[in-house]
Amino acid sequence: MNGEQEVDVRLTRVPGLLFGGDYNPEQWPEEVWAEDARLMAEAGVNMATVAVFSWSRLEPRPGEYDFAWLDRVLDLLHEHGIAVDLATATATPPPWLVREHPEVRPVDANGTHLDFGSRQGYCPSSPVFRAATARLARTMAERYADHPALAMWHIGNEYADHTLECFCEESARHFRTWLAARYGTVDGLNAAWGTSCWGQHYTDLDQVNPPRKAPGPINPAQVLDWRRFCSDALLECFEVERAVLREVTPDVPVTTNFMSILHGLDYWKWAAAEDIVSDDAYPDPADPTSHVGAALSYDLMRSLKDRPWLLLEQAPGAVSWREVNVPKPAGMMRLHSLQALAHGADGVMFFQWRQARYGPEKFHSALLPHGGVQSRGWQDTLRLGRDLEKLAETAGSRSKADVALVLDWDSWWGLEAPESMPSKRLELKRLLHTWYDRLHALGVAVDLAPPERDLSSYRVVIAPNLYLCTEDQAKNLRAYDGHLIVGPFSGVVDAADQVHPGGAPGPLRELLGLAVDEFWPLADETTQTVRHADGSAGTASVWAEWLRPEGATPIAHYEGGDLDGIPAITRHGRTTYVGCLLEDVRPVLDDVLTRAGVRPVADLPAPGADLPTGADVPAGVEACRREGVAADYLFLLNHGTTAAAVNLREPGTDLLTGRDLRGLIEIGPRDAVVLRTAHEGEK
């Protein structure tokens, strides 16, 4: 919270890498628990997430608690050497709370109350809900403070998964308080929101509402503030509980499971409020490129606190919430787990331990499937447990990156306003991926960074889009003296979503050495040819701009069509501006990487070549490095379905097989090596 001192609480109770998953013993007769604990121990599980949705079982009536069953669960797990990530159980309010206080139910933008019967059915602004969660968190914390199984607190669950926003009267009041703190007076709000437009001038803050369903497009400044407010309101729910836990159990780290790169919550702010970053990731097995998206999320998770994080949930096989839930083919569950480690995780956990027999997740895979110890899934569980033990020494090792991708939630919210933008097709994730996918294919390590962070440790910084860019953020980018790439539609508006005087790129104009004369979104299914200075041709889709250089040198032009001859990409000093959505960024990116001296994390020359070529790692192979105190770890992951030949310049020992490897090696389909190599300084 504001002004509060940041405390550094680490998870110290479990050595090595964490392995386990969500455990819901309340869904099973007690006879099953003993088998659960025995099989967990057999598989090498050392951590279980417990009580996530247990409020109605722990407090069946107001103030009346039943902890006896949870006591027995925690004791049993502890006897088997399994630590607990203990949820405060507040992810779903119990029926009695909803019955007694129907106002805790969330209300959608149309004014409809969302009823009990699913989960996360609460209004984030409800004082009743918040007070009840604080009470339960305190009761839990006091009861289990000294329990030897307690290793970490888990508040809520995937905040914003089902309930990101609520439009009820209580939320409206809360929103007004938030606005009053931001703008001081109604005049401040009128000025920021530009309410002279469409006759929206307010004379009292009490007249302001959340952006409920209205006849036409809603004021985009109001929508942007609503996005900020919704992220903050949920964060307050988290902080209410965290304050209690910190008071009662100051040495136990606190987390809440994030949802990868999520639009709804500003994870930079959220991560600062927790001790350990943890993530839930569900890449679609049906999408052969989904591991690249996962890699990007994992790099974000590591960057949020610049330290190891935890993969707290993933599916061992199929999920149950897609239209079609494709299982993970042989090897994928292990490979995806190793991938999280490769990107800096210190543990891989799953949803869930034992496959449910009832409820919405009865077809969701689990570490222990319906078929029990006979199943293919169980064999995978055992194998992964053995592998994680072999990799224990990688825990705590760190990653270093020379390249940063800038990500800012305010800007993302502004860019993807639901209405009234030049194009609805210009999406941040797509822009991020145009750069990230190439870096990933090259095996170049990447961090993510907010635009106000000190960027001086990076050789290359890429801002795929900064639609909203404040003067302070621009100042930080101007102060950066490495190689900067700025993507299209950047520097357009200020913090209040008002176009900077003189138009884009606003405060970036001097840095980029250009002005944007006109935005030129491309119609669906149309593309625009881009001619690079070296003569090669590229393609822009979705977005282009009519640029007017003011000192910048064009390094690519549009060819043909209405923009024929207009600069598409420019360079000004060490800053490159790409004014379009460039489908293949190689000509720009590879050149900047070379100029900046950025190298892939491993030299993997093409077989037969004796010098590093700087060429891509073989297609489908992912390369990541973690640096430990005594050794480095090179992860080479073959996501392909055929074997990959890799030429290792540095010898090392594969921790998974114990083999010493050097030179040309083969990595089987969906297999990996984790090479312990000499530490950086000792090579």
Task: Map residues 6-35 to x or -, x wherever contact with ligand GAL holds by CB under 6 A.
Answer: ------------------------------
CB of 139 to ligand GAL, least distance (A): 23
Stretch that binds ligand GAL, among 35-43, 196-204, 311-319, 545-553 (CB under 6 A): 311-319
Q: Which of 157, 411, 465, 470 is in the footprint of ligand GAL by CB under 6 A?
A: 157
Cα separation values, 113 from 98, 123, 230, Å: 12, 10, 18
Q: Which stretch binds ligand GAL (CB under 6 A): 155-163, 420-428, 509-517, 593-601?
A: 155-163
Residue 85 Cβ vs ligand GAL, minimum distance, rounded to whole Å? 13
89 binds ligand GAL per the rule CB under 6 A:
no
Place of tokens 């800096």: 344
Is residue 315 within the footprint of ligand GAL (CB under 6 A)?
Answer: yes
Nearer to ligand GAL, 27 or 209 (CB): 27
SS3 readout for 513-567: CEEEEEECCCCCCCEEEEEECCCCEEEEECCCEEEEECCCEEEEEEECCCCCCCE
Query: Does 262 sit near ligand GAL (CB under 6 A)?
Result: no
- Rounded to a whole number of angstroms, the minimum distance from the CB of residue 245 to ligand GAL is 20
Query: Using the rule CB under 6 A, is 313 a contact of ligand GAL?
Result: yes
Query: What is the C-alpha separation between 318 and 614, in angstroms, rounded?
Result: 37
Q: How far is the CB of 499 from ligand GAL (least distance, A)?
A: 38
Q: Which is nearer to ligand GAL, 328 or 483 (CB)?
A: 328
Find out whether 319 and 365 touch, Cβ atoms under 8 Å. Answer: yes
Q: Which is nearer to ligand GAL, 226 or 351 (CB)?
A: 351
**Cis bond upstream, residue 308 (ω within 30):** no
* Nearest CB to ligand GAL, comparing residues 280 and 408: 280
Q: How far is the CB of 22 from ligand GAL (least distance, A)?
A: 6
CA 227 to chain centre: 17
Minimal distance, residue 160 CB to ligand GAL, in Å = 11
Nearer to ligand GAL by C-beta: 280 or 603? 280
d(CA 60, CA 151): 26
Token pair, residue 465, equals: 């889009």
Query: Using CB under 6 A, which of 364, 483, 500, 532 touches ligand GAL?
Result: 364
Residue 342 phi, psi dihedral angles, 5° rounding:
-55, -35
Chosen residue from 104, 189, 221, 319 binding ligand GAL by CB under 6 A: 319
Residue 139 or 157: the one with the smaller Cβ distance to ligand GAL is 157
Cβ of residue 554: shortest distance to ligand GAL, in angstroms? 47
Query: Alpha-carbon distance 495 to 224, whole Å?
Result: 9
| Region binding ligand GAL by CB under 6 A among candidate stretches 157-165, 329-337, 429-437, 610-618 | 157-165
Contacts with ligand GAL by CB under 6 A: the residue count is 11
Determine whether 432 is exposed, middle or buried from the number of CB atoms within 10 Å of its CB (0-12, 13-18, 19+): buried
- Say whether residue 161 binds ligand GAL (CB under 6 A): yes
Strands (E), 380-492: 403-406, 446-449, 460-463, 483-486
Strands (DSSP E) found in 358-459: 403-406, 446-449
Toward ligand GAL, which CB reaches closer, 282 or 480?
Answer: 282
Which positions ≥6 away from 683 have C-beta within 8 Å?
650, 677
Residue 352 Cβ vs ligand GAL, minimum distance, rounded to whole Å: 7
Closer CB to ligand GAL, residue 158 or residue 170?
Answer: 158
Shortest Å, Cβ 158 to ligand GAL: 4
The answer to whether 349 contacts ligand GAL (rule: CB under 6 A) is no
DSSP summary character for residue 398:
B
| Shortest separation between residue 365's beta carbon and ligand GAL, angstroms | 9
Given a contact cutoff of 8 angstroms between Cβ atoms, the answer to whether 668 and 676 are in contact is no
Q: Is 280 in the site for ligand GAL (CB under 6 A)?
A: yes
Q: Which of 175, 183, 309, 351 binds ligand GAL (CB under 6 A)?
A: 351
Residue 520: half-sphere exposure toward Cβ, Cα within 13 Å: 23
What is the x/- site pattern for ligand GAL, positions 99-138, by CB under 6 A?
A: ----------------------------------------
Segment near ligand GAL (CB under 6 A), from 153-161, 339-347, 444-452, 520-528?
A: 153-161
Nearer to ligand GAL, 119 or 531 (CB): 119
Is the backbone peptide bond immediately before 200 cis, with ω within 30 degrees of 0? no
Compute CA distances 386 → 27, 31, 394, whole Å.
Answer: 28, 27, 14
Q: Which residues are catalytic?
A: 158, 313
Handedness of CA 419, 425, 429, 431 (dihedral sign): negative
| Rounded distance between C-alpha atoms, residue 683 and residue 669, angstroms | 30
Stretch that binds ligand GAL, among 312-320, 377-385, 630-638, 647-655 (CB under 6 A): 312-320
Distance CA 112, CA 316 (A): 36
Residue pair 493/499 in contact (Cβ under 8 Å)? The answer is yes
Q: Supply 502's token pair.
A: 């003189």
Nearer of residues 281 and 556 to ligand GAL, judged by Cβ:
281
What Cα–Cα distance (Å) separates residue 681 from each residue in 12, 69, 456, 543?
28, 53, 22, 45
The H or E element spanning position 333 is helix 332-342
Q: List the x/- string, 652-671, binding to ligand GAL by CB under 6 A.
A: --------------------
Nearer to ligand GAL, 256 or 575 (CB): 256
CA angle 401, 405, 406 (to 5 degrees): 130
To the nearest whole angstrom, how small is the minimum distance from the Cβ of residue 164 to ligand GAL?
A: 13
What is the closest distance, in whole angstroms, from the C-beta atom of residue 88 to ligand GAL in the complex?
A: 15
- Residue 539 has a CB neighbour count (10 Å cut-off) of 13
Closer to ligand GAL by Cβ: residue 286 or 479: 286
Nearest approach, Cβ of 313 to ligand GAL (angstroms)?
6
Q: Is 158 an interacting residue with respect to ligand GAL (CB under 6 A)?
A: yes
Does position 334 interact with ligand GAL (CB under 6 A)? The reply is no
C-alpha to C-alpha distance for 49 and 72, rounded to whole angstroms: 15
Between CA 111 and CA 148 the distance in angstroms is 47
Q: Which is nearer to ligand GAL, 312 or 544 (CB)?
A: 312
- Terminus-to-terminus CA distance in the chain, angstroms? 44
Decide if residue 255 touches ligand GAL (CB under 6 A). Answer: no
Q: What are the residues whose beta carbons fall under 8 Å from the beta carbon of 349, sequence distance 6 or more?
A: 18, 19, 20, 21, 22, 47, 49, 85, 310, 311, 312, 313, 314
Burial class (CB in 10 A: 0-12, 13-18, 19+), 179: buried
Residue ranges in contact with ligand GAL by CB under 6 A = 157-158, 161, 280, 282, 313, 315, 319, 351, 361, 364
